[in-house]
Structures are given as structure tokens and as C-alpha cells.
């Protein structure tokens, strides 16, 4: 096996979604280039992920902990190989549709640079037969105010995924953003519960990552101004949450929730604040309103629409509630989620339908596939 010490450098400016990109920095309205404090202020600039060259992660206990059991054969057959072309093509078409919709709404759309996800790579401690993709900027990067934070991700195959976003990060940094990388975990074997250790537990292991070093995926955090809500998961450990808490300092409070999720990985199909005072909850994972939200208008998402059965290789069907807000009223919803659309209308919101069912095969939906780099609005407390 040919092993490269680092992944292919990203080609600066290479775009995978044919959509107008940001005007030159000097043509942009004055103000911070990166500024996003919550999930709902009016959206001005967003990164949309790319399905190009997506590879299936190799089967391992980490994958087994979060992938639906019925898809085990898929990973065992294709792990380390490209996702089937029809899956990637359909996801690419939907990403293009999403980017065009956002552009029509006046949002500046940015895309990651091309990265060769087929290349094996290694550190002094381990090797990975391939990378994965750059489809989910939400997992990789966390925007808190004018700062973009690179997440210390726990899946080895995602170790260099951030490289697809580096040209953008450099550009944002040049334009005044703060740019931080959380301490890069070594991801030695000690970072993971051993397969036999997991198997010896009476029930499913609570978390596959140990507390060896801090790890987190950015999608395990939800932002509500001065308050962030997090969960521990198979990729986010207590040290990772503590690292972010100390890094953000006393201006922010990081709350840890304990959803009832047997396969926790990312909190954005469990809770999603849609506006100041409006919270959408997953009725299975958070059947009781977290105390912090008792003064909010909290509603439970209806069950996902089973119509148009498709393979969900890396997520649950609850990606139905993985939404992206254009502002406090308008929110992107998968077009076939009719019950959710009706529920949102009854809540005084305007659901904006967008086809995105095929993309779900890659493990997420609108929130996962995007990173809101700039929303109009300042830092506030909502509690």
C-alpha cells in the first residue's frame, strides 16, 4: 500500500458546485467576514459541502457504533472504496440545487476545494486506507462569532478532511476572521474503546471515544448566542467539550445535554433552535424539554416521512429535522417531509422546500451539509 504522510493539498479556488462564489473581499459589505452567533439570524454567507470523490469509511468498531445495523454489509463490502457513482451523482445534483436556491435567496455560497479522498495516509501511529469526503462542513468546523474553529475529529479517515476547507479558511483569515485549530488528537489506539471491551459490556457502549485526548465533531454543538448546547457522543468526549468551554471563556456557557440516543453522533437531528425562543426537539431523543428552554416555545418534530425509502448508511431517518434557517421565519425543509412542513407553517414559519433525500445517504441533511459563516446579528443571551 502506498502511504502518503499528508493528504493531497487542496487546489486553491477549485469549486465543485457550479455556483457564483463570494465577490472579492473588497466588494463585500463592510463588517466582519465571519460572524455567526446562532442558528437563525439572517443568513448571508454559507459553505455548502461537496460529494465529489466521496469514499465509504472502512468498517471498524467506530463505524459499527453509529451506522445502522442493516447497512453493515455495505461497509464491509465497500469500505475504503468510492461510494457508488449513482449515490454521489444524486447527492451532487441536490447540492447544486441547494446552492442555487441559496444563491437565489441572496446568500453567498462557498464550496470546498477538491481533495483526493482515495489516497491512503498515515501518522506515526496508524494508517488509513482512504479519506472520506468534504460533504459535511458542519462536522469539521465550528463558527462562534468571528472565529472559525477546526474540530479535533475522532474518525481516522477524516483526519485531513479540513484540508478541503483550508483555502477558504486562509481567505477568511486574511479578511480578518479569527482561525483556531483545536489540539489535533493523535488518535492512537488508546483513544478508542477496544472492540472486545465494547463487546463485553452488557449494553451498547455509551461512547466509543475514551478520554485519552480531547476530541469532538463540531456538529455535536448547537449555538444560541452566549449559550452553546453539546452532547457527548461516539466522537465527542468530555475533554473535547471542556477544551471548547475553556477556549471560549467566560463570555459563553457550554451546556451538556444527555439525549436518549443509542447511537449518538451529532446533536443536530436531536435539537434545533429555529428562532429566538423557538426550539424543535426530537421526541424520541429529548422527550422532556431541557430545563434551560422552559420559557421557550418548544415543539416536537413529527415522525420522518418513510416515503421514498432510501439507504441511510450513516444516519437515522431523523435527519428529517436537520434543517437550515434562512432567518427567523424561513427554514429549508426536505420537500417530501410534508408533515414537518405543515407543522412549521402552523408554528408561524415559512418552510422552504428543497429536494435533498438522496444526499441523506451520505449521513446528513441541510444543517450537516452547510456551515453558516455569516449571519446578520450580534452576540446576545436568549435565556
Binding-site ranges for ligand ABU (CB under 6 A): 219, 266, 268-269, 315-316, 318-319, 322, 363-364, 368
Q: From the CB of 86, what's the least distance to ligand ABU, in Å?
A: 22
Q: From the CB of 122, what's the least distance to ligand ABU, in Å?
A: 27
In Å, what is the CA distance from 162 to each residue of 108, 171, 182? Answer: 21, 14, 12
Annotated active-site residue in 261, 268, 368, 372? 368
**Separation of alpha carbons 249 and 260, rounded Å:** 29
**DSSP type of residue 11:** -
Can 297 be counted among the known catalytic residues? no
In Å, what is the CA distance from 334 to each residue of 50, 312, 356? Answer: 18, 15, 6
Can 224 be counted among the known catalytic residues? no
Nearer to ligand ABU, 115 or 267 (CB): 267
Annotated active-site residue in 266, 268, 367, 372? 266
Q: From the CB of 183, what's the least distance to ligand ABU, in Å?
A: 23
Q: From the CB of 222, what's the least distance to ligand ABU, in Å?
A: 12
Say how far residue 162 (Cα) sits from the centre of its chain: 12
Q: From the CB of 187, what's the least distance to ligand ABU, in Å?
A: 20
Nearer to ligand ABU, 46 or 267 (CB): 267
Nearer to ligand ABU, 112 or 364 (CB): 364
Annotated active-site residue in 41, 146, 217, 268? 217
**Separation of alpha carbons 383 and 381, rounded Å:** 6
Nearer to ligand ABU, 30 or 306 (CB): 306
Nearer to ligand ABU, 191 or 322 (CB): 322
3-state SS of the chain? CCCECCCCCCCCCCCCCCCCCCCCHHHCCCCCCCEECECCCCEEEEEECECCCCECCCCCHHHHHHCCHHHHHHHHHHCCCECCHHHHHHHHHHHHHHHHHHHHCCCEEECCCCCCCCCCEECCCCEECCCCCECCHHHHEEEEECEEEECCCCCHHHCCHHHHHHHHHHHHHHCCCEEEECCCCCCCHHHECCHHHHHHCCCCCCCCECCCCCCCCHHHEEEECCEEEEECCCCCCHHHHHHHHHHHHHHCEEEEECCCCCCCCCCCCCEEEEECCEEEECCCCCCCCCHHHCCCEEEECCCCCCCCCCCCCCCCHHHHHCCEECCCCEEEEECCCHHHHHHHHHCCCEEEEECCCCHHHHCCCCCCCEEEEEECCCCCCCC
Q: From the CB of 229, what's the least distance to ligand ABU, in Å?
A: 15
Q: From the CB of 66, what's the least distance to ligand ABU, in Å?
A: 8
Can 266 be counted among the known catalytic residues? yes
Smallest CA-to-CA distance from 73 within 319, 311, 357, 363 is with: 311
Q: Which residues are catalytic?
A: 217, 266, 368
Amino acid at each position: 500500500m502506498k502511504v502518503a504522510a499528508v493528504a493531497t493539498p487542496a487546489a486553491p479556488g477549485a469549486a465543485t458546485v457550479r455556483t457564483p462564489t463570494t465577490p472579492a473581499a473588497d466588494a463585500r459589505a463592510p463588517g466582519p467576514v465571519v460572524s455567526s452567533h446562532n442558528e437563525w439570524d439572517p443568513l448571508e454567507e454559507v459553505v455548502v459541502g461537496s460529494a465529489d470523490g466521496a469514499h465509504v469509511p472502512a468498517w471498524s468498531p467506530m463505524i459499527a457504533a453509529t451506522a445502522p445495523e442493516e447497512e453493515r454489509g455495505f461497509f464491509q463490502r465497500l469500505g475504503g472504496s468510492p461510494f457508488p457513482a449513482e449515490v454521489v451523482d444524486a447527492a451532487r445534483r441536490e447540492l447544486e440545487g441547494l446552492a442555487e436556491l441559496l444563491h437565489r435567496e441572496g446568500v453567498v455560497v462557498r464550496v470546498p476545494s477538491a481533495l483526493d479522498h482515495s489516497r491512503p495516509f498515515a501518522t506515526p501511529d496508524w494508517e488509513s486506507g482512504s479519506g472520506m469526503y468534504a460533504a459535511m462542513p458542519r462536522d469539521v468546523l465550528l463558527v462562534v462569532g468571528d472565529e472559525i474553529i477546526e474540530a479535533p475529529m475522532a474518525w481516522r479517515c477524516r483526519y485531513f478532511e479540513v484540508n478541503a476547507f483550508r483555502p477558504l479558511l486562509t481567505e477568511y483569515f486574511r479578511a480578518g476572521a479569527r482561525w483556531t485549530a483545536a489540539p489535533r488528537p493523535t488518535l492512537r489506539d488508546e483513544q478508542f474503546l477496544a472492540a472486545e471491551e465494547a463487546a463485553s459490556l452488557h449494553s451498547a457502549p455509551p461512547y466509543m471515544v475514551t478520554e485519552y485526548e480531547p476530541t469532538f465533531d463540531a456538529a455535536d454543538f448547537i449555538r444560541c448566542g452566549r449559550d452553546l448546547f453539546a452532547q457527548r457522543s461516539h466522537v465527542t468526549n468530555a475533554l473535547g467539550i471542556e477544551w471548547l468551554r475553556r477556549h471560549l471563556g467566560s463570555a459563553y456557557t457550554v451546556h451538556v445535554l444527555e439525549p436518549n440516543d443509542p447511537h449518538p453522533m451529532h446533536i443536530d437531528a436531536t435539537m434545533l433552535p429555529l428562532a429566538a425562543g423557538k426550539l424543535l426537539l426530537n421526541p424520541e431523543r429529548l422527550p422532556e424539554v431541557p430545563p434551560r428552554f422552559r420559557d421557550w416555545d418548544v415543539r416536537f418534530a413529527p415522525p420522518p416521512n418513510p416515503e421514498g425509502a432510501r439507504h441511510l448508511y450513516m444516519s437515522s431517518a431523523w435527519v428529517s429535522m436537520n434543517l437550515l434557517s434562512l432567518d427567523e421565519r424561513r427554514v429549508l425543509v426536505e420537500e417530501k417531509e410534508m408533515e414537518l412542513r405543515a407543522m412549521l407553517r402552523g408554528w408561524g414559519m415559512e418552510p422552504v422546500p428543497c429536494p435533498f433525500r438522496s444526499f441523506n445517504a451520505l449521513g446528513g441533511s441541510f444543517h450537516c451539509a452547510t456551515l453558516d459563516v455569516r449571519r446578520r446579528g450580534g452576540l446576545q443571551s436568549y435565556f
